[in-house]
């Protein structure tokens, strides 16, 4: 889940509520769906939130949401934009990264806090919508350090987005002190080596020029000449990527944040030499156009379980940062005869609103989910816990009794975590080697597949907690899935049980003792015949056989797996199918 680090003094300033204590702000943000995760080393508060609300990746975006919640702002706000003075000419770009967008922001008064917030927003957008810069990358430049080539007799200035050879023109990259070619940046500069894989297969690499020369090497690194500092007042923002929609919406989020800092947005014209099929030859960006969703009144009431007057619905929409008006009778049909519907206007930074249900969620938050009265549903049956859920709870209770700490990890992960880092070949005939279900349009490269086994998730927790005291005994009962053509849905779903012990004197016998006790608690028979598994050490690995069926694996993890996860202590682990304990 994405997180945002917030300076509460900045938040109070941006909201205009100096009277709010840190505790008040935590409570108010929880109402918005931001959960407090603790403090950073710098004393800022860290909050976790749903990955769809990417407009909240900065303190400016969080402050905007709070101002709506407090009733200080209402309805859709669209920043004013001045006419374009700059043009981006696009010619001979790498076919793998053909799209570009941009904006100019003038009149900023940056201090260290606002500059840090801009950098955080840039990196958070890279990690989420930009998929670690693969789908979209942001470059922010000091406009006064650019010299635009003449774009014609109308006084416009221009820069050029193009493709060049790796050993072509030179520039001084950020955090560098010498002229380097793009190829040298990729092999010698610490930022270049980190992102070299992004352009490894390109015949030419992306580059952006002004009349002085090369000043940006997207998606890798900007030039030092245009570096932004607290002295910068006017900014030039460029974004390149593999998808125009993505970088346009990333640009909207950044522009809204800088508008909140008092900046004036100025359009940039994008001139494509060979325009993409779905776009015109010339684009004017940023694109602050709104979109509309039609939502039926009766659907809002059914979903939230409350009765509302139409004027109340419109009021709640405006308090959510949306605009609403009752749809014309000749407009889209409502779901129930006689029930009104609302045409709801969505601001450009809300990339999360894809369906009427998303609008209803906003209405519910503005109303206050804590203000909803719980009531029994009007059905003739009484709910109860599923047999599998009772089994899961019993296994968790037993594991905690054996000294394990219970975990609840994400179901989504990456193929690298499942296979490469665990030394398991994809589509191999071992536990965890199944064909994973892929997410078609993931928000992040860290969450591209559904996990096929639990141990990679536990290893990530151990990797992230090397600074914590040992021993660390971790366990999880959780969901896994893999593709299977023999199942009518095409996906085989299951629940697994996994545990790992990390300590300086741990051995295979420690894991087996706990597994033996767990299986005995459920009146089952355990056998552990020798087996092989690439994640474990040969000769110290066994199959988990419960009541005669092979259902998992147990053993000492291979040193190469430990090194991959930066672990310096031995780890023993087991994993098996939960259904074997029924």
pLDDT of 466: 92
Q: How many CB atoms lie within 10 A of CB 18?
A: 8
Domain definitions of the chain by residue range = 3-70, 82-285, 291-370, 387-580
pLDDT tens digits, 441-472: 887 888 999 999 999 999 999 999 999 999 99
429 in a labelled binding site: no
Please write down the long-range contacts of 428-437, taking CB distance under 8 Å and 24 or more positions apart. 428/534, 430/533, 430/534, 430/553, 431/533, 431/552, 431/553, 431/575, 432/456, 432/535, 432/575, 434/482, 434/483, 434/484, 434/492, 435/482, 435/483, 436/481, 436/482, 436/483, 437/481, 437/482, 437/483, 437/491
CA-CA distance, 529 to 512, in Å (whole number)? Answer: 12
- Is 361 annotated as contributing to ligand binding? yes
pLDDT at 281: 72
Which residues 6+ apart lie within 8 Å of 402 measured at CB? 514, 517, 518
Residue 312 has a pLDDT of 95
352 annotated to a ligand binding site: yes
343 labelled ligand-binding: no
Query: Which class is domain 387-580?
Result: alpha beta
Q: How confident is the model at residue 151, as a pLDDT?
A: 45
Give the CA angle between residues 191, 194, 199 to the nearest 5°: 100
C-alpha distances out from residue 47 to 30, 191, 258, Å: 9, 28, 21
pLDDT of residue 336: 46
Counting as low any pLDDT under 50, the low residues of the chain are 151-153, 329-336
Check residue 331 and give its pLDDT. 44
Two domains, one topology: 3-70 and 291-370: yes
CATH number attached to the domain at 82-285: 3.50.40.10
pLDDT at 380: 76
For the chain, how many helices (H) and strands (E)?
A: 15, 26
DSSP secondary structure string, 516-552?
A: HHHHHHTT--EE--B---TTEEEEEEEEEEETTEEEE
For domain 3-70, the question of CATH label 3.30.56.10 is answered with: yes
Q: Which CATH number fits domain 291-370: 3.40.250.10, 3.40.50.2300, 3.30.56.10, 1.10.8.60?
A: 3.30.56.10
Copy the structure tokens of residue 272. 């494509």
């Amino acid at each position: 889940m994405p997180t945002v680090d917030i300076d509460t003094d900045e938040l109070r300033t941006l909201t205009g509520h100096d009277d709010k204590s840190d505790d008040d702000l935590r409570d108010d943000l929880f109402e918005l769906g931001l959960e407090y995760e603790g403090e950073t080393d710098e004393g800022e508060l860290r909050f976790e939130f749903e990955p769809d609300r990417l407009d909240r990746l900065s303190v400016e975006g969080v402050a905007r949401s709070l101002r709506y919640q407090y009733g200080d702002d209402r309805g859709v706000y669209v920043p004013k934009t001045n006419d374009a003075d700059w043009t981006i000419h696009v010619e001979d770009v790498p076919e793998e990264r053909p799209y570009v967008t941009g904006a100019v922001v003038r009149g900023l008064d940056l201090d260290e806090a606002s500059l840090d917030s801009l950098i955080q927003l840039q990196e958070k957008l890279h990690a989420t919508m930009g998929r670690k810069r693969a789908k979209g990358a942001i470059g922010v430049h000091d406009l006064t350090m650019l010299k635009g080539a003449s774009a014609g007799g109308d006084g416009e200035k221009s820069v050029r987005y193009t493709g060049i050879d790796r050993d072509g023109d030179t520039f001084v990259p950020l955090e560098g002190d010498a002229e380097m070619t793009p190829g040298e940046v990729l092999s010698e500069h610490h930022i270049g080596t980190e992102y070299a894989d992004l352009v490894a297969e390109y015949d030419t690499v992306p580059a952006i020029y002004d009349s002085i020369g090369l000043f940006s090497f997207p998606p890798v690194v900007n030039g030092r000449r245009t570096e932004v500092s607290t002295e910068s007042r006017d900014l030039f923002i460029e974004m390149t990527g593999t998808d125009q929609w993505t970088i346009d919406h990333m640009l909207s989020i950044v522009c809204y944040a800088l508008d909140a800092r008092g900046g004036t947005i100025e359009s940039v014209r994008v001139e494509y030499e060979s325009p993409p099929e779905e776009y015109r030859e010339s684009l004017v960006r940023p694109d602050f156009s709104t979109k509309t969703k039609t939502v039926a009144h009766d659907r809002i009431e059914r979903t939230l379980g409350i009765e509302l007057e139409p004027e109340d619905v419109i009021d709640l929409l405006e308090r959510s940062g949306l605009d609403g008006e009752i749809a014309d009778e000749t407009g889209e049909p409502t779901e129930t005869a006689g029930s009104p519907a609302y045409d709801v206007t969505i601001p450009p930074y809300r990339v999360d609103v894809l369906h009427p249900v998303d609008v209803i969620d906003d209405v519910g938050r503005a109303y206050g989910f804590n203000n909803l009265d719980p009531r029994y549903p009007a059905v003739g049956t009484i709910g109860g816990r599923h047999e599998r859920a009772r089994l899961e709870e019993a296994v968790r209770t037993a594991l905690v009794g054996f000294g394990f700490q219970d975990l609840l990890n994400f179901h989504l992960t990456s193929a690298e975590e499942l296979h490469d880092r665990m030394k398991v070949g994809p589509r191999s005939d071992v536990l965890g080697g199944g064909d994973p279900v892929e997410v078609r349009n993931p928000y992040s490269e860290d969450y591209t597949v559904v996990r096929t086994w639990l141990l990679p998730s536990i290893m990530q927790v151990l990797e992230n907690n090397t600074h914590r005291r040992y021993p660390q005994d971790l366990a999880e009962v959780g969901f896994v899935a893999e593709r299977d053509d023999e199942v009518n849905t095409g996906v085989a779903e299951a629940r697994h049980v996994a545990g790992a012990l990390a300590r300086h004197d741990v051995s295979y016998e420690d894991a087996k003792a706990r597994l033996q006790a767990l299986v005995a608690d459920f009146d089952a028979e355990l056998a552990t015949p020798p087996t092989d598994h690439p994640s474990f050490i040969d000769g110290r690995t066994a199959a988990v056989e419960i009541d005669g069926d092979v259902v998992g694996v147990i053993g000492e993890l291979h040193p190469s797996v430990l090194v991959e996860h930066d672990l310096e202590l031995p780890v023993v682990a087991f994993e098996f199918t939960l259904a074997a304990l029924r």
